[in-house]
Structure 1
Amino acid sequence: MIDTPHYWWLTAGLALVLFGDAVMSLRPPGFIQRCLDGVRLPRDWWWVLVVTKLLAAAGLVVGLAYPGVAFTTNVAVIGYFVCAAYAHFRARFLKREFWLNCMGMLAFSVTVLLVGYAV
């Protein structure tokens, strides 16, 4: 069975970043609005992203104490950002927001998974 992360601070860092992203998404600044409008996500659905990110942050924190939870949540976060990247490609919205926000978070999530469980 997969244990808790070897480097807890990486997982905690990802949880903190996701929590901050969720809080910012409550009243999205311009770069987040451009991103969501760029992929044509209806504004009525923006709340779903906030809930998803808050639940992911909670899962990562809970997973620091319970084996397998952080790993599973980290994999789900990667899946979330893969889907977000697909939405960007499909909408042909590949501007700076895509590379910094979406791909940056995807790279960070993958790094946390690989480094956090490698040993």
Structure 2
Amino acid sequence: MIETTPWWWMSVALAAILLGDALLSIRPPRFISDCLEGVGFPRDWWWALVAVKLLAVAGLLAGLVYPGIGAASAMAVAGYFVCAAVAHVRAGFLGQSFWVNCLGMLALSIVVVPVAYTI
């Protein structure tokens, strides 16, 4: 059975960061659009990233009541950022956005799963 730990607030922090990222991605500032263009992500699909991030936020917050959903959402967020890291490496787009934003969010999402949930 999956349960939350006293560190449940880490999943809320991840949700808050993802919410901010999703809201910024609606009308992406230069650093986000440069990143998406740098990895070759089609502009016609940028809306899908907003939807995915908002669904992840909903799942992480639902995890406060249903820990299994929160743990699954945190794992999915980690998977999302693994895919983002692979896209950066494949495109050779290894600037600051890769090292700080992409790998930083990957590290945070990987830490949330074992720290915020007991599996």
TM-score w.r.t. structure 1 length?
0.94
Query: Tell me, which stretches of 5 or more residues in structure 1 are unaligned?
Result: none
RMSD of equivalent CA atoms: 1.4
**What's the offset of the Cα at 1:7?**
1.6
> Aligned partner of 2:62: which letter?
V
How many angstroms apart in 2 are the aligned matches of 1:67 and 1:43?
A: 35
**What's the offset of the Cα at 1:75?**
0.4
Q: Which residue of 2 aligns with 1:44?
A: 44
1:27-84: CA deviation from partner (whole Å, max 9, x where unpaired): 1111111110000111100000000000000000001101311000000000000000
Q: Which residue of 1 aligns with 2:57?
A: 57
Q: Which residue of 1 aligns with 2:116?
A: 116
How many angstroms apart in 2 are the aligned matches of 1:16 and 1:67?
A: 17
Hey, which bits of structure 1, 4+ residues long, moved more than 6 A? none
How many pairs were matched up? 119
TM-score w.r.t. structure 2 length?
0.94
Q: Which residue of 2 aligns with 1:93?
A: 93
The alignment-based identity, stated in percent, is 57
Contact 2:25 2:50 in 1 (8 A): yes
Contact 1:34 1:97 in 2 (8 A): no
**What's the offset of the Cα at 1:5?**
4.3
